[in-house]
A = this chain, B = another copy of it.
Amino acid sequence: MSIGTVDRVLHNRGEVAESTKKKILKIIEELDYQPNFLASTLASKKSAVFATLFPEPPSAEGYWNKPFIGVKKRISELKPYGIQIEHFTFNQPDSKSFAAEAKKIVELQPDGVVLAPFFKKESVHFIEQLKENNIPFVFIDSEIKNAGHLSYIGQNSYQSGFVSAKLLDLSLRTGNIMVIHFAKEMDNQNHLVQREIGFYDWFQVSNKEKHEIFTTEIADTDTDLWMEKIKKEITEKNIRGIFVTNSKVFYVGRMVEKYGLSDLKIIGHDLLKENTDFLKKGIVQFLICQRPEEQGYNAINKLFRNVVQKRKVSEENYTSIDIVIKENIDYYKEFK
């Protein structure tokens, strides 16, 4: 039995007689042999290529820069392994651009993919092709169930709505509540809906009937027209609490400043610069945060461990639902 033969059974490369294979397997077992992956990666000069498919952030302050910061961090740590990253982005409201970028990725034939499955139909089509090509993929941010993904990394959106409800109730003596979706194409943004359902359910379960809850969708924020409407509703409906289901709570902050509104308790998501500014000013009371940098970092790590190190990885990876207030914000900002 030479070292070459052993290597062949170790990696199932065939060309080994069944009898010797058995013999070798037995010895491996007895010795509890653990391959040294330093030596392994050094010798096999093959380097993996990973592709990411995220929404294009509208600016350098946009949410979707954050997961990519984590991606780059892990890639740079993995430098000696020579892993390449190819980053693809699509226009957030445009499912065609998603499909177009997905196609490019299939053509590239990478060794692994991280994607935010924003558009259900297009995502399903994409991952069918990935599966045909035996390319493992990780979902980030939101999830398609039973899709054959290697892993999902993101928040449990329903539970996050639950948390928001609890916090708003805690802060509110009286008055009603408005839930605001700043979004187009709500059908596809399933996690916003999940947050809303969780929010309503908490009040249901807790049997707190002192607040009435209204939901509004705002698709167009190009002008300030929506502000007029919302402001009117706030007065008419005696709104004292506002829950914004995504990272756009800064719009509400701007409205509050514009009209000099007071006595509102406001809760939103994600530590965008403008959001944290409003938190520090005391205009926004709570931000729910999901550590997006960590999500990007972990997604790459999953691929690395699976593709390069051939290890098993866990499928569900819910990130924590962090409650951020003025008093603890400073310990959430930096990603190291």
The answer for the CA separation of A325 and B163 in the assembled complex, in Å, is 8
A320–B323 CB distance below 8 A: no
Interface residues on A, range: 35 or more
A328–B320 CB distance below 8 A: yes
B36–A331 CB distance below 8 A: no
Q: Is A4 interfacial (CB-CB < 8 Å)?
A: no
- Assess A327 versus B162: contact at CB under 8 Å? Given A322-B322, A336-B314: yes
Tell me the residues in window 287-336 of chain A with beta carbons closer than 8 Å to chain B beta carbons.
314, 317-323, 325-328, 330-332, 336
Q: Is A23 interfacial (CB-CB < 8 Å)?
A: no
Name A328's contact: one of B171, B323, B326, B332 (CB within 8 Å).
Answer: B323
The answer for the CA separation of A328 and B161 in the assembled complex, in Å, is 10
Q: Which chain B residue shows the least CB distance to A171?
A: B170
- Assess A159 versus B323: contact at CB under 8 Å? Given A38-B42, A171-B170: no
B327–A202 CB distance below 8 A: yes
Name A331's contact: one of B37, B156, B328 (CB within 8 Å).
Answer: B156
Residues on B with beta carbons closer than 8 Å to the beta carbon of A327 = 159, 162-163, 166, 202, 321
Residues on B with beta carbons closer than 8 Å to the beta carbon of A336 = 314, 317
> Using an 8 Å CB-CB cutoff, how does the interface string of A16-42 with B read, 1 for contact, 0 for none?
000000000000000000101111011
Residues on B with beta carbons closer than 8 Å to the beta carbon of A166 = 325-327
Residues on B with beta carbons closer than 8 Å to the beta carbon of A332 = 320
Chain B min CB distance to A315 (Å)? 12
Residues on B with beta carbons closer than 8 Å to the beta carbon of A34 = 79
Q: Is A260 interfacial (CB-CB < 8 Å)?
A: no
The answer for the CA separation of A160 and B330 in the assembled complex, in Å, is 11
Q: Which chain B residue shows the least CB distance to A156?
A: B331
A80–B38 CB distance below 8 A: yes
Residues on B with beta carbons closer than 8 Å to the beta carbon of A320 = 322, 328, 331-332
Chain B min CB distance to A305 (Å)? 10
The answer for the CA separation of A219 and B322 in the assembled complex, in Å, is 33
Tell me the residues in window 153-179 of chain A with beta carbons closer than 8 Å to chain B beta carbons.
155-156, 159-160, 162-163, 166, 170-171
B156–A80 CB distance below 8 A: no
The answer for the CA separation of A237 and B322 in the assembled complex, in Å, is 34
The answer for the CA separation of A79 and B166 in the assembled complex, in Å, is 44
Q: Which chain B residue shows the least CB distance to A291?
A: B320
The answer for the CA separation of A155 and B327 in the assembled complex, in Å, is 13
The answer for the CA separation of A255 and B39 in the assembled complex, in Å, is 58
Chain B min CB distance to A150 (Å)? 15
Residues on B with beta carbons closer than 8 Å to the beta carbon of A328 = 159-160, 163, 320-321, 323
The answer for the CA separation of A323 and B80 in the assembled complex, in Å, is 38
A-to-B contact residues, CB < 8 Å: 34, 36-39, 41-42, 79-81, 155-156, 159-160, 162-163, 166, 170-171, 202, 314, 317-323, 325-328, 330-332, 336
Across the A-B interface, the 9 shortest Cβ-Cβ residue pairs: A323-B323, A321-B328, A163-B327, A320-B331, A38-B42, A162-B327, A38-B80, A163-B328, A38-B38
Q: Can you show 7 pairs from A to B with CB atoms below 8 A apart?
A: A36-B42, A36-B80, A38-B41, A39-B42, A166-B326, A322-B323, A323-B328
